């Protein structure tokens, strides 16, 4: 039989051993959960309950991704969302901590306007847009969300806007290289 102080040592050792696998190495990406939603499906045997997690992943150096994970429990859906976001990263061109030009995008019901801002103005954006541009490493930007208040649609529209910014910046670079 273990004495009281031996029992405490034994329990603390067991707890440390159990927690060891969860102490992950620091990732190069900053992960943020934008929304967790509980969903249910009516089946013959009753309601089947699941969860969706909308995750934004970025390295604050111009790379950002968005993922929607679905699973029967919250932790699995978060893990799936983060994994999907890491697999589908886009590169955003940064000019003095902001985007090179203004862009307006409409995706579904979501309309997003992103506009470069002068240094020192910070991120002027709503919650869903803010999480994406902050993860991308944009320090100065002004934005407006028009249309829907749906966070998932706004996040995907913001990602699409940043994608279009990078495509247009790439085209501009190619034109300048061809003119030289």
| Residue 20 pLDDT | 46
Q: Please indicate, yes or no, whether the overall pTM of this predicted structure exceeds 0.75.
A: yes
- Mean residue pLDDT of the chain comes to 87
Q: Is the model's pLDDT at 13 over the cut of 80?
A: no
168 vs 180, higher pLDDT: 168
| Residue 9 pLDDT | 56
What is the token pair recorded at 165? 């910014």
- Phi/psi at 128 (5° precision): -70, -40
pLDDT tens string 67-117: 999 999 999 999 999 999 999 999 999 999 999 999 999 999 999 999 999
pLDDT tens string 126-173: 889 999 999 999 999 999 999 899 999 999 999 999 999 999 988 888
């Amino acid at each position: 039989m273990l004495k009281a102080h031996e029992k405490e040592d034994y329990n603390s050792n067991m707890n440390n051993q159990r927690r060891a696998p969860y102490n992950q190495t620091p990732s190069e990406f900053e992960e943020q959960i934008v929304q967790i939603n509980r969903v249910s499906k009516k089946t013959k045997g009753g309601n089947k309950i699941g969860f969706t997690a909308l995750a934004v992943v970025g390295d604050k150096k111009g790379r950002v991704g968005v993922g929607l994970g679905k699973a029967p429990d919250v932790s699995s859906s978060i893990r799936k969302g983060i994994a999907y976001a890491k697999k589908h990263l886009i590169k955003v061109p940064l000019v003095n901590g902001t985007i090179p030009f203004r862009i307006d995008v409409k995706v579904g019901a979501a309309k997003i306007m992103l506009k470069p801002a002068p240094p020192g103005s910070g991120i002027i954006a709503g919650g869903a847009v803010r999480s994406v541009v902050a993860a991308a490493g944009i320090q100065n930007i002004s934005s407006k969300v028009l249309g829907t208040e749906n966070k998932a649609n706004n996040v995907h529209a913001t990602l699409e806007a940043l994608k279009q910014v990078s495509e247009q910046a790439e085209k501009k670079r190619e034109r300048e290289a061809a003119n030289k």
